[in-house]
Structure 1
Amino acid sequence: MREPVELRRQRVLAAVEGRGSARVRDLAAELQVSVVTLRRDVEELTREGRLRRGHGVVHSTSPVPEQPEPHAPDGDTVAVVVPERHSYLYETLHGARTVLEEAGMRIALHIAPQVAGAELPLVERALAGGARGLLLAPRWRTPAVEEADYGWLAALDVPAVLMERRPWPGSALHALDSVCSDHWYGAHLAVEHLVGLGHRRIVFATRDDSPTARSLRAAFTQIAGAHPRLEEWAWALSSPEAGHDGPYAAHEMQDVPTLLGKLGATAAVLHSDVDALMIAQRLAESGVRVPEDCSVVAYDDVLAGLGTTPLTAVAPPKAEVGRVAAELLLRRLDGHRGAGSTVRRVELLPALRVRGSTRMTVTLSQ
């Protein structure tokens, strides 16, 4: 699947803004795109005033404090580790960056490639470089990969805060500070919106390759299974590449448009935005109109509003997660991490952005 241009440019912008400037060739290798493609993206972002070009170098146009604040001595660094090609978490990074730069902290951005265990060597490198604290969003494509990281994360001797990651109850990381979106509530918003419009048969299609995706699957299963006004529902992978931890039942791997037809469903909730936009395209190609024949709610709201039909979407507070996580980390760095310090596990509520992809059904079930 080809990455949408706007999504790729968001990654370029996030990478440059996270460090202030970068060499074009280094950035192309890091983001796994050709130098020609990257130069074209940089030219467009420069034309929009979002980046500034130099000879072989690209610079952020965002202001950077010339002098750190008094309470943050020169050289204070916070390392931020996020997965590559993850625009959702890049928005979280922007939120954290605002808070940390206002506090005079320097950010060292580390982008983890799509391989298991990629975060550990980046964290080791950051600590060797003098990082005093960590903001972390490990990819954790499967529960086994997640559990494998618990040992070294629990042994960290610097303050660390997880972003959009919530360790298993009772695990070695259960007492680690974390800031997350309440994805159960986000699923609830989507279901209640569609049920309120008269939809009684709904397909839920999510990814299954991250903690957020697995939380959403569990939430939709619980909410739909107990909802008194839903007649039929089913869950499936949002794309064949969306899950790695099966096995899955045959209907769970079925093409979503086909499953909608078999179930007689009039609505779908689709995670993530890119998968939702592609499924909406396939529905249109098969003659199913959105929203006339099928209402669609996307989950993430990074690109949902850019479709031919802008998609109604659940919008987790991505930037706010980063801001709150950075504020919590600063408290730790300022000396609030004593023996009696209270660990914080913060949940922030998503919002529903209603656009043109949902509407009332023609006939409501009694």
Structure 2
Amino acid sequence: MREPVDVRRQRILAAVEARGQARVRDLAVELQVSVVTVRRDVEELTREGRLRRGHGVVHSTLPAQELPGSDPARTDGDTVAVVVPERHSYLYETLHGARSVLEEAGMRVALHIVPPAGGAERPLVERALADGARGLLLAPRWRTPAVEEADHGWLAALEVPAVLMERRPRPGSALHAGDSVCSDHWYGAHLAVEHLVGLGHRRIVFATRDDSPTARSLRAAFREIAEAHPLVERWTWTLSSPEAGQDGPYAAHETADVPALLRELGATAAVLHSDVDALMVVQRLAEDGVRVPEDCSVVAYDDVLAGLGSIPLTAVAPPKAEVGRVAAELLLQRLAGGPGAGSPVRRVELLPALTVRGSTRGPAPVPS
């Protein structure tokens, strides 16, 4: 599913403002869209007065003294590097939350976008440090536990303050004693299950992607909650996308067609991570003559795109922007050497919220 236009334009604006200027071709590569698409977006942003076009180059319209890193009194030591995976709209919202705090504090934000290849974070972090970054905000991709484990040692040995965003290292690992700010995904799973059970659903299918730490946390949470819930009669878990599991830690038999699994289980509801997979499942259910929410209720997990579907989806929304803001505030305290700089390591958890839309209702009565 294509990224919404407004999200893509926000990413273009953020990239240009972070650097002062950017080449159209470079933006197209970073966003993985055509040059024509970027030019069209830039034209609209220019019309709105938010950017200024040059020959193949886009300039920020912020006054020179307001551009990150443009103040002659600043040095490279005023830079914070933010490292996030490419094409990850969830974490871009987190980025925007962090950016608002850092720029208000006079810090320059240097954005580093990580390609899909395993181990791609380390070279980018090393480059950021070589360029003089004083601190780091990190959301490593960590497609598998093994990839995560391989990063623990060098991340724990960093000589500058670093805060992980939406990443919770394994207890007892080298990174366990590091600052992190996360959404409480167990609570998010709890909200989804309680909403459906409260509507009368007793058989539920859970589907998650296995290419992120969030998906793995959700899988464990759904399992724990469903097994303990007195009103959940039957449940099962699967991968929401066959492609998601190709490089993951799960066996092939754990990938199943969600609509077929709903029929097999006699389930009347599904909770799906992420939004894109949830929207695609709703489309496939419609092709099979299954109506949402009349025949099947659907809850999405992420709430980045869930409200944009032909049927707006009820969704659990982790506090994405707030995660970024809190992470940036914690990093600034460490950098300032003031209160909090020498305090114990903090692992902050923020609670998600549930937004009810048109994709959930009580199950249809069983014919007598």
The Cα of 1:360 is off from its aligned counterpart by 1.6
**Which of 100, 105, 108 does residue 106 from structure 1 map onto?**
108
1:29 alignment partner in structure 2: 29
User: Alpha carbons of 1:14 and 1:290: their partners in 2 closer, same or farther (altered >3 Å)?
Assistant: farther
Take 1:220 and 1:164, find their aligned partners in 2: how far apart are those partners? 18
Whether the 8 Å CA contact 2:203–2:267 is kept in 1: the answer is yes
The Cα of 1:33 is off from its aligned counterpart by 2.4
TM-superposition CA deviations, 1:162-192 (whole Å, max 9, x none): 0000111000000110000000000000000
TM-superposition CA deviations, 1:50-78 (whole Å, max 9, x none): 6543332234567886389xxxx723110
TM-superposition CA deviations, 1:120-141 (whole Å, max 9, x none): 1111111111110000000000
Whether the 8 Å CA contact 2:334–2:342 is kept in 1: the answer is no
TM-superposition CA deviations, 1:299-349 (whole Å, max 9, x none): 000000000000010000000000000000000001149995210000000
Whether the 8 Å CA contact 1:67–1:104 is kept in 2: the answer is no
> Which range is displaced more, 8-17 or 158-167?
8-17
2:248 alignment partner in structure 1: 245
User: Alpha carbons of 1:173 and 1:59: their partners in 2 closer, same or farther (altered >3 Å)?
Assistant: same
> Which range is displaced more, 336-345 or 294-303?
336-345
TM-superposition CA deviations, 1:247-297 (whole Å, max 9, x none): 4262x3111011011111111001001111111111111111111111110
2:232 alignment partner in structure 1: 230
The Cα of 1:153 is off from its aligned counterpart by 0.3
The Cα of 1:13 is off from its aligned counterpart by 4.3
Q: What does 1:202-281 correspond to in 2, within 5 Å?
A: 202-243=204-245, 244-248=247-251, 250=253, 252-281=254-283
Q: TM-score, normalised by structure 1?
A: 0.92
Q: TM-score, normalised by structure 2?
A: 0.91
Take 1:49 and 1:257, find their aligned partners in 2: how far apart are those partners? 47
> Which range is displaced more, 11-20 or 221-230?
11-20
SS of the residue aligned with 2:41?
helix
Letter in 1 for 2:41: D
The Cα of 1:234 is off from its aligned counterpart by 0.7
The Cα of 1:245 is off from its aligned counterpart by 2.0
Take 2:99 and 2:241, find their aligned partners in 1: how far apart are those partners? 32
Letter in 1 for 2:248: D
User: Alpha carbons of 1:358 and 1:19: their partners in 2 closer, same or farther (altered >3 Å)?
Assistant: farther
2:360 alignment partner in structure 1: 358
> Which range is displaced more, 105-114 or 7-16?
7-16
Please tell me whether residue 323 in structure 1 is matched to residue 325 in structure 2.
yes
> Which range is displaced more, 37-46 or 226-235?
37-46
2:66 alignment partner in structure 1: 66
Letter in 2 for 1:54: G
Take 1:269 and 1:16, find their aligned partners in 2: how far apart are those partners? 37
Take 1:208 and 1:195, find their aligned partners in 2: how far apart are those partners? 25
Q: How many residues align structurally?
A: 359
What is the aligned-residue identity percentage? 82
Letter in 2 for 1:246: P
User: Alpha carbons of 1:227 and 1:59: their partners in 2 closer, same or farther (altered >3 Å)?
Assistant: farther
Whether the 8 Å CA contact 2:112–2:124 is kept in 1: the answer is yes
Take 2:308 and 2:91, find their aligned partners in 1: how far apart are those partners? 19
SS of the residue aligned with 2:242?
coil
2:168 alignment partner in structure 1: 166
Whether the 8 Å CA contact 1:203–1:267 is kept in 2: the answer is yes
1:131 alignment partner in structure 2: 133
Take 2:215 and 2:277, find their aligned partners in 1: how far apart are those partners? 12
Letter in 2 for 1:212: T
The Cα of 1:43 is off from its aligned counterpart by 3.3
The Cα of 1:5 is off from its aligned counterpart by 4.4
Identify unmatched segments of 5+ residues in structure 2.
none
SS of the residue aligned with 1:314?
strand
Take 2:362 and 2:240, find their aligned partners in 1: how far apart are those partners? 24
2:143 alignment partner in structure 1: 141
